Amino acid sequence: MNRDKNIGINSNKGELEVSPEEKSLALFRSMYYQINAKPDSMSKVFAQKIIVSREDIIDLNERVNKKIRMHYQDDGYIATITVSLNNREVINFECWNEFLSYEWIESNCINSIILKWNFNIRMPQYEYPQNHVLMVKISNGLRPEEMLNLIFSGKIEDFEEIETNTFPVAARVDFIEPILGDELLNIVSEWIRGLKENNDKRNPFIILLRKYRKRVAQYFNYFALIMLIWLGVAIINKLVHDFNTNKLADFTSDQFLLLFDWIVIICVFLFASLKILNNLAHKIYDTLTQYGQGFAFSITKGDKKRQDEIRLYDEKNAKSILLKFAFSLIFNITCGIIAALLV
C-alpha cells in the first residue's frame, strides 16, 4: 500500500522519479553530442604497380602535414606507423621521429605498412575540435575477401597476410568535413601517381596468357584429353577393322577378349591422363597468376633481395610456360596425326 501511495504522489507531481546515475548519464550524453559529431568514412583502393621506398613514405607524411597546416587549424596531431614483416614480426612507430631515426637492416622483407594520421580540427559549426583519421595501407595486394571486408566494414587495419598484387594501396578517411575527406584521398592519389612504377620487362606473350589464364588452363586440361579420346577411338576402330568381320556376332572369343582388354587399357589411361592434365592445368593457372606481380617495397635489405628473387622467378616461369605450351602443341598435333592415319 505504501508503494501505491508513493506512485500516486509522484504522479501528482507530473513526473517519474529518476535516479542520480540516470541523470548523470543523460547529462553526459547531452555534452558528448554537443562536443562531438558523428564521423563518416570513405575508402579507396589503387591498382597501380608501384615500388615504395622510405623516402616516399616521408614524402606522403609531408604532404598530409602541409594540407592540414595550410588550410585548417589543428588541435592535436598523432601519426603512427605499423610495419609487418614476412616473419610475422611487427615494428610499431609511435611517432615520425622514431621512423626517421630507424635503420632498416632487416634481412626479412616487408609484408605491409599501415600509416595512420589522427588529428583534431576546429570547425565553425562545432564548439570543440573534431577528430579526423586518415589511414593508408601499403601491401603487395588485397585478396578478394579483404576487398569485401574493406567495402562492407571500411576497416583496413586488420587485414591478414597478403597474397595477390591486385590493389597495393588502400586508403580510408574518417571525416566530419567532407571537403577535407576528399582532399586527403586526393593527396594519396597524387602521391601514388608520383611513385616509381614496377615496370620490369615482362614477356608480352606470357602477359597475354596471364590475362586469359582461365582459358589457357582449360586448354591444357581438356584439349589434350579430347585428342587422347580421339586417339583411343581411332585405335579401337583400327582393331575392329583388322578383325575382318561384318557383325559383332562373328567375333571369336580371342578377338572379343583382345577388344575388351584394349578398351579397359584405354579407359584407365584416359582416367590417369585426366588427373595429370588437371594438376598441370592448376599449376599453369597458379604460375600465370604469380607471373609479373613484382614487389611493392624497397626499404629493407630483404626487400631488395625479394625483388631479385621475383625477377629470376618470373624468368624461370616464363621459360617453363613456353616449353609446356610448345610441348602441348606438339603432343596434340601428334595425337591428331596418328588418329587420322589409323582411321
- Reported as a single tens digit per residue, the pLDDT across 86-142 is 888 899 998 888 999 998 988 899 988 999 998 877 766 666 677 788 999 998 755
Ramachandran sector of residue 38 (left: φ over 0; alpha: ψ -120 to 50; beta: rest): beta
Share of the chain above pLDDT 90, in %: 22
119 alpha-carbon distance from chain centroid: 29
What pLDDT shows up at residue 125?
A: 65
Burial letters 69-91, b for 16+ CB under 10 A, else e: eeebeeeeeebbbebbbbeeeeb
Question: What pLDDT digit, counting tens, does each position of 316-329 carry?
Answer: 888 999 999 899 99
Burial letters 25-37, b for 16+ CB under 10 A, else e: eeeeeeeeeeeeb
Average pLDDT score, the chain:
79
At 326, the amino acid letter reads A
Whether residue 135 contacts residue 44, with contact meaning beta carbons closer than 8 Å, is answered with no
Q: Which of 185, 58, 163, 188 is nearest to 112 (CA)?
A: 163
Could you give the CA distance from residue 164 to residue 145 in angstroms, rounded to a whole number? Answer: 11
What pLDDT shows up at residue 177?
A: 74
Rounded to two decimals, what is the model's pTM? 0.66
Angle at 200 between CA 194 and CA 206, to 5 degrees: 130
